[in-house]
Amino acid sequence: MKPVAKSDFPVTDVRRFLEPGPIVLVSSAWQGETNIMTMGWHMVMGFEPSLVGCYIWSEHHSQALIRKSKACVINVPTVDLADIVVDIGNCSGRDVDKFERFGLTPQPGTMVSAPLIAECWASFECRLADASLIKKYNLFVFEVVKGHAAKAKRAPRTLHYRGDGEFMIAGETTRRWRRRFRPDML
């Protein structure tokens, strides 16, 4: 498990990592405390601004940190981090410093106070854009304000949760059907 070398990634292209539906690790910080949660319920909601909707349950310790700091980082882990992805979901930031416990490296963000997770394939710095749906739906609408992604151009072997302890691991990525797209649909 080692840090992934990343470079800047355009915020308008966040769909390339999030639309396929991977499990993500959400990192947050507030008044010196950091936390990480595992999240499977998220969706792209726009390109410009780059919006992402995330379901963050009120019982999660992260919810308060994110509400107070109005920010988070959405990190995309790959299959080599599967043990940690599960273990992070098994414990609470109320009891544990998750960066320390799991040997993950916090990297300072450039636009938000929440730290990036260096070992993840991609990291997206987010600001809370709309808090009005939190109470009713636990739905956070974030604007991605800065993107970072692995310099390696191959597609990441992401984890996709199917419930009941079962994961689908990302298979082949292909442009086999690309020529069928109407040019303005790309």
Three-class SS of residue 47?
coil
**Quick one: 2 or 154, whose CB is closer to a second copy?**
154
**Nearest distance in Å: CB 145, a second copy:** 18
| Residue 49 found at the interface with a second copy (CB under 8 A) | no
Which positions from 163 to 182 touch a second copy by CB under 8 A, shown as an x/- string? xxxxxxxxxxxxxxxxxxxx
152 CB-near residues (< 8 Å, 6+ apart): 4, 5
Nearer residue to a second copy within complex by CB, 48 or 166: 166
Give Cβ neighbours of residue 3 (< 8 Å, ≥ 6 apart): 105, 107, 118, 119
Phi then psi dihedrals of residue 56, to 5 deg: -125, 105
Nearest distance, CB of residue 86 and a second copy, angstroms: 4
User: Which three-class secondary structure state does DSSP give residue 134?
Assistant: helix
Q: How far apart are CA 22 and CA 25, in angstroms?
A: 10
**Given the complex with a second copy, which of 29 and 144 has the nearer CB atom?**
144
Compute how many other C-beta atoms are within 10 angstroms of the C-beta atom of residue 14. 24
Q: Is 13 in the site for a second copy (CB under 8 A)?
A: yes
Q: Is 43 in the site for a second copy (CB under 8 A)?
A: yes
User: Quick one: 46 or 67, whose CB is closer to a second copy?
Assistant: 46
Residue 84: both structure tokens together: 């940690």
**146 is written with which tokens?**
């800065």
List residues near a second copy by CB under 8 A: 13, 15-17, 19-22, 40-46, 51, 53, 55, 82-83, 86-87, 89-90, 133, 137, 139, 141, 155, 157, 160-182, 185-186
